[in-house]
């Protein structure tokens, strides 16, 4: 039998009172759907790490290799379903007056679960961008036999995701910061919290006065300043927290 997850009283108290809530998610929130995380056991592809492939220099050196990696990830992601963690987060959009979802994930699973207002810090794997004209297009093909794909203008297309060494989309990070600075409760779910600038967001929330809660299967470099840390799977902890706290909100 599954061990019951004990939700702390203080968490429930804050959850009940909060009207302004922000959530930051990382690859761990999609792990239970079957998406490989970046730094877990399953994170390597042909022995390459994300840091070796998700860079502008890797793409200019070998666009085919980088696209083969993204095609592999697209193929895994294409048919999988959101898990209970995605669904609860989508419900929170209706639970709180002021709610903001910030994700580092590019897999599109939050949208599949019904979240509508999503700040995608690292872009989206289902969008491609022309390397010459900067135009973006939606593209849901796996593309495995046809990489690297080309734009109508003849230039290479790249995934419309943020690579190491690239700036985050400005409008998105500034909106995220606005929400983080005013939220009363901030959740950090399923991220190793080592990739900047996303990994600084929990500290900014804390310094701005938010109560900060981490949900992760293991401790991270930011666990020490959390108000609460729940060690376990997001897809198990979030449903418990949600049902216990809803009783209180009624």
Active site residues: 122
What does the block give as tokens for 32?
Answer: 């239970």
Q: Which stretch binds ligand OAD (CB under 6 A): 110-118, 171-179, 185-193, 205-213?
A: 185-193
| Shortest distance, position 76 Cβ to ligand OAD, whole Å | 14
Q: Smallest distance, Å, CB 72 to ligand OAD? A: 14
- As measured in angstroms, the least distance from the Cβ of 102 to ligand OAD is 12
Fill in the per-residue mask, 119 to 158: x = in contact with ligand OAD (CB under 6 A), - = not in contact.
---x------------------------------------
User: In the structure encoding, which two tokens stand for residue 249, read together?
Assistant: 């909100």
- Tell me if 179 sits within 8 A of 19, measured CB to CB: no
Contact call for residue 234 and ligand OAD (CB under 6 A): yes
Q: Which stretch binds ligand OAD (CB under 6 A): 10-18, 92-100, 160-168, 172-180?
A: 160-168
φ, ψ for residue 167, nearest 5 deg:
-80, 150
H/E stretch holding 187: strand 185-189
Q: How many whole angstroms separate alpha carbon 39 and alpha carbon 199?
A: 15
Tell me the two tokens of residue 73.
């990830």
Is 24 one of the binding residues for ligand OAD (CB under 6 A)? no
32 binds ligand OAD, rule: CB under 6 A: yes
Cα–Cα dist 237/244, whole Å: 11
Q: Compute φ and ψ for 211, nearest 5 degrees.
A: -85, 125
188 part of the interface to ligand OAD, by CB under 6 A: no
Question: How far is residue 33's CA from residue 151's CA, in Å, rounded to a whole number?
Answer: 32
Binding site for ligand OAD (CB under 6 A): 26-28, 31-32, 37-40, 43, 50, 54, 104, 122, 162-164, 190-192, 195, 215-218, 220, 233-234
């Amino acid at each position: 039998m599954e061990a019951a997850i004990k939700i702390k009283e203080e968490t429930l108290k804050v959850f009940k009172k909060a009207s302004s809530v922000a959530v930051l998610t990382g690859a761990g929130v999609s792990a239970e759907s079957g998406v490989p995380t970046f730094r877990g056991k399953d994170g390597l592809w042909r022995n390459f790490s994300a840091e070796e492939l998700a860079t502008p220099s890797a793409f200019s050196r070998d666009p085919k290799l980088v696209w083969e990696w993204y095609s592999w990830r697209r193929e895994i992601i294409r048919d999988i379903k959101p898990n209970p963690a995605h669904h609860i987060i989508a419900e929170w959009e209706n639970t709180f007056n002021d709610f903001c979802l910030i994700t580092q994930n590019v897999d599109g699973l939050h949208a599949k679960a019904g979240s509508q207002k999503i700040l995608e810090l690292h872009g989206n794997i289902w969008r491609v961008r022309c390397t010459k004209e900067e135009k973006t297009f939606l593209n849901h093909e796996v593309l495995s036999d046809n990489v690297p794909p080309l734009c109508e203008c003849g230039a290479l297309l790249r995934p419309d995701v943020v690579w190491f060494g690239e700036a985050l989309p400005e409008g998105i990070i500034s909106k995220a910061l606005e929400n983080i600075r005013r939220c009363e409760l901030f959740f950090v779910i399923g991220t190793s919290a080592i990739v900047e600038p996303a990994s600084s967001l929990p500290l900014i929330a804390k310094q701005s006065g938010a109560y900060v809660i981490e949900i992760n299967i293991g401790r991270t470099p930011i666990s020490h300043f959390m108000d609460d840390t729940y060690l376990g799977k997001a897809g198990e902890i979030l449903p418990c927290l949600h049902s216990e706290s809803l009783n209180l909100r009624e």
